[in-house]
């Protein structure tokens, strides 16, 4: 909250929407008085919450701030100037720098494809591909977008209750026009939040659903992007296979035929690749790890 108050852009309207938390957020928000507009709702999930917050906003532009990340003081100024420079852009997006769980900045920066070559804002005509591949770090904490554009695409898709609602939202926004990428740090992103493995499996399943939905909308019209989405689906399936090999089951919320249907979207070679990874590669990696651990224990 203090990082939001410290923004050097003015005026800023601050809306806090509490999605049924049980951690004392309501009492904490009372201390801010009329500096914020605080609302509370029964727990409805991230997609509904983001949409409801946007509907409450009165401004022309919207920037999100989740409860575990921090805004640099020039975040909104940087992104607003980029949109002002490229008025056709539906949103502006910058980079993020990682924080550890204790809030200490690290040297790890999200660097999208070819971003090291850019020093000034760059207009990307094919923002849709830039978000889906990804070539830009389009996330709630790195963007500034026009409210009327969110209205045009009917805000967030509620099928993404736990994850990927943001990727889908910004991908659909890109169908309205170009985006502007700013090679500047506009967010300090905290790693380690909600890191339980079962939550990771749910997140990966939502990511696959997101890729499948956009894969079906492309219908091979863009063969290059189509293949890239298939690659990303394969990567997520391999991650889930690794989790399951370590004894973690798919949550009850995931349909029993989910993995089968996801594999059906891939090429024959990709399915063979997945099968080899699941049946051989994971097993070999575990054998090597066990032998390495035994070797180190013997030395000790």
Distance between CA atoms of residues 243 and 250, nearest Å: 9
Its pTM stands at 0.91
Say yes or no: 215 and 149 in one domain.
no
Say yes or no: 136 and 279 in one domain.
no
Range of the domain at 135: 2-190
The three-state secondary structure class of 17 is strand
Q: What is the CATH number of the domain that holds 87?
A: 3.90.550.10
Q: Parallel, antiparallel, or unpaired for β 179-190 and 143-146?
A: unpaired
Say yes or no: 147 and 228 in one domain.
no
Say yes or no: 134 and 91 in one domain.
yes
Alpha helices in the chain (DSSP H): 2-5, 25-30, 46-56, 75-85, 127-132, 147-152, 165-173, 197-218, 223-245, 258-264, 268-276, 282-299
Say yes or no: 169 and 70 in one domain.
yes
Q: How high is the pLDDT of residue 114?
A: 52
Find all residues with CB under 8 Å of 165, minimum gap 6, and list them: 46, 47, 50, 156, 157
In this structure, the number of other CB atoms found within 10 A of the CB of residue 255 comes to 11
Q: How high is the pLDDT of residue 257?
A: 94
Say yes or no: 174 and 26 in one domain.
yes
Low-confidence ranges of the chain (pLDDT < 70): 111-116, 192-198, 220, 293, 295-300
Count how many domains the chain has: 2
Say yes or no: 59 and 168 in one domain.
yes
Q: How high is the pLDDT of residue 196?
A: 45
Q: How high is the pLDDT of residue 7?
A: 97
Q: How high is the pLDDT of residue 300?
A: 54
Residues linked to residue 93 through DSSP beta bridges, in sequence order: 143, 181
Say yes or no: 141 and 274 in one domain.
no
Q: How high is the pLDDT of residue 195?
A: 44
Say yes or no: 64 and 36 in one domain.
yes
pLDDT per residue as tens digits for the range 19-63: 999 988 999 999 999 999 999 999 999 999 999 999 999 999 999
Say yes or no: 156 and 256 in one domain.
no
Q: How high is the pLDDT of residue 296?
A: 58
Q: How high is the pLDDT of residue 59?
A: 95
């Amino acid at each position: 909250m203090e990082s939001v108050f410290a923004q050097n852009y003015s005026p800023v309207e601050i809306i806090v929407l509490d999605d049924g938390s049980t951690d004392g957020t309501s009492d904490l928000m009372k201390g801010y008085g009329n500096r914020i507009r605080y609302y509370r709702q029964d727990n409805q999930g991230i997609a509904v919450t983001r949409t409801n917050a946007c509907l409450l906003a009165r401004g022309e532009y919207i920037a999100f701030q989740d409860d575990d990340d921090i805004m640099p003081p020039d975040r909104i100024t940087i992104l607003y100037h980029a949109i002002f420079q490229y008025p056709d852009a539906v949103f502006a997006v910058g980079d993020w720098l990682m924080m550890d769980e204790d809030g200490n900045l690290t040297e790890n920066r999200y660097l999208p494809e070819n971003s090291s070559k850019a020093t000034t804002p760059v207009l990307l005509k094919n923002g849709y591909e830039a978000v889906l591949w990804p070539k830009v770090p389009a996330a709630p904490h790195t963007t500034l977008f026009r409210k009327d554009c969110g209205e045009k695409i009917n805000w967030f898709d509620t099928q993404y209750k736990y994850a990927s609602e943001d990727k889908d939202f910004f991908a659909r926004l890109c169908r309205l026009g170009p985006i502007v990428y700013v090679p500047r740090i506009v967010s300090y992103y905290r790693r380690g939040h909600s890191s339980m493995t079962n939550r990771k499996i749910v997140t990966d399943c939502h990511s696959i659903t997101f890729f499948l939905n956009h894969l079906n909308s492309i219908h091979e019209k863009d063969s290059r992007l189509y293949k890239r989405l298939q690659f990303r689906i394969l990567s997520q399936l391999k991650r889930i296979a690794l989790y399951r090999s370590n004894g973690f089951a798919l949550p009850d919320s995931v349909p029993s035929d989910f993995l089968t249907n996801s594999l059906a979207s891939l090429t024959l070679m990709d399915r063979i690749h997945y099968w080899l990874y699941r049946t051989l590669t994971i097993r070999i990696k575990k054998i090597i790890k066990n032998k390495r651990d035994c070797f180190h224990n013997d030395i000790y």
